[in-house]
Amino acid sequence: MKYLIAGSSGQLAKAFIARFEQGGIAFDAPPEIAFDITDRESVKQVVSTCKPDILLNCAAYNAVDAAEENSLPAFRINAEAVATLSNVAAKHGATLVHYGTDYVFDGSSERLYREEDATAPINAYGESKLAGEKAALEGDAESLLLRVSWVYGDGNQNFFHKMLKWAEGREVLKVVWDQISVPTYTEDIVTHTLAALEQGLRGCYHLTNTGYATRYEVARHFFKLMGNRTTVIPLGSEAFSCPAPRPFFSAMSNKKLSAALETSIPTWEDAVERFAARLREAH
């Protein structure tokens, strides 16, 4: 089994690369300059050279607020490029693994979102990711679509790194209480993506850690684990006046995937504990 990773400098890609290196698994992960998923010729050349069995699309445009002001790059990277990847993968008999988001839901549900629930994104980023899901599921290649949420791991672009940075030199940090979802650790995404591929799963599944929380609760839990004394106080989203609205409750159920894999996916608290322990060791 050979893997090809798109978006090799992102946080999920880094977790796949580390796991493949540890396990001696064959993979290619060209830098974005050599593997730009919006460039059909680049995609054709890389795929025909690498000849992967599995094309892992870890590339994405995740700037939620910037997408609200100009949605073109989001649609090019999150949607149009996915159709290209699917088309080229199919020509080489490769399976496409693509990642979706909880932001395809409007956040008005009173229970965890399931795979069959109606999608209705409330921001441009969510719309671009929904178009990308369709491109993956209805494209030419066999595909596995895994919806993830609040992804974090190695890298500086996630919620936890931002929290630590914003807390520097501050006694009090305000964090939103009215956004509820599931922080999901790249390590657990890698583990369960590989298990899903081993089982031959195709179609759409939710891959999140188990449980759900407000951003405020997640920040408090994390700071406690890190021994950070900054006081975290809850505030409504309106206080931050971000260009893109966020869903209120977009937490997804991972039951369909857990049942298919006959496993239980670790809770978000457990995952944050492992992540915080790694950060503490590194410092």
Ligand X SMILES: NC(=O)c1ccc[n+]([C@@H]2O[C@H](COP(=O)([O-])OP(=O)(O)OC[C@H]3O[C@@H](n4cnc5c(N)ncnc54)[C@H](OP(=O)(O)O)[C@@H]3O)[C@@H](O)[C@H]2O)c1
Catalytic positions, written as ranges: 125
Question: Which residue from 210, 239, 235, 218 is spatially nearest to 160, judged by alpha carbons?
Answer: 218
User: Which is nearer to ligand X, 10 or 266 (by Cβ)?
Assistant: 10
176 forms part of the interface with ligand X (CB under 6 A): no
- The per-residue DSSP string of 208-275 comes to --BS-EEHHHHHHHHHHHHT--PEEEEE-GGGG--SS---SB--B--HHHHHHHTS-PPBHHHHHHHH
Is 60 among the residues that bind ligand X (CB under 6 A)?
A: yes
**CA separation for the pair 257, 115 (Å, rounded):** 10
Residues 6+ apart with CB under 8 A from 168: none
- Residue 101 interacts with ligand X (CB under 6 A)? yes
Q: Which residue in 62, 86, 193, 230 binds ligand X (CB under 6 A)?
A: 62
Single out the residue of 5, 54, 151, 251 in contact with ligand X (rule: CB under 6 A).
151
**Quick check: 10 binds ligand X (CB under 6 A)?**
yes
Residue 59 binding ligand X, by CB under 6 A: yes
Give the pairing of strands 3-6 and 151-152. Answer: unpaired
Cβ distance to ligand X smaller for residue 21 or 231: 21
List all residues 6 or more positions away from 72 whose beta carbon is below 8 Å from its beta carbon: none
Specify the residue, 9 or 264, whose C-beta has the smaller distance to ligand X: 9
Taking the complex as a whole, how short is the minimal distance between the CB of residue 159 and ligand X, in angstroms? 7
| Amino acid at the residue 272 | V
**Both structure tokens of 270:** 């457990």
Q: Does 231 bind ligand X (CB under 6 A)?
A: no
Burial class (CB in 10 A: 0-12, 13-18, 19+), 255: middle
Q: How far apart are CA 157 and CA 191, in angstroms?
A: 21
Backbone angles phi, psi at 209, to 5 degrees: -65, 170
CB of 171 to ligand X, least distance (A): 27
From 7-15, 44-52, 201-209, 257-265, span contacting ligand X (CB under 6 A): 7-15
Binding ligand X by CB under 6 A: which of 77, 144, 173, 176? 77
For residue 9, state whether it binds ligand X (rule: CB under 6 A). Answer: yes
Give yes or no for residue 139 binding ligand X (CB under 6 A): no
For residue 80, give the DSSP letter.
Answer: I
Over the window 203 to 222, marking each residue x when it contacts ligand X by CB under 6 A and - when it does not, the resulting string is --------------------
Segment interacting with ligand X, rule: CB under 6 A, options 151-159, 171-179, 206-214, 274-282? 151-159
Write out the residues near ligand X by the rule CB under 6 A.
6-7, 9-12, 32, 36-38, 58-62, 77, 99, 101, 148-151, 155, 157
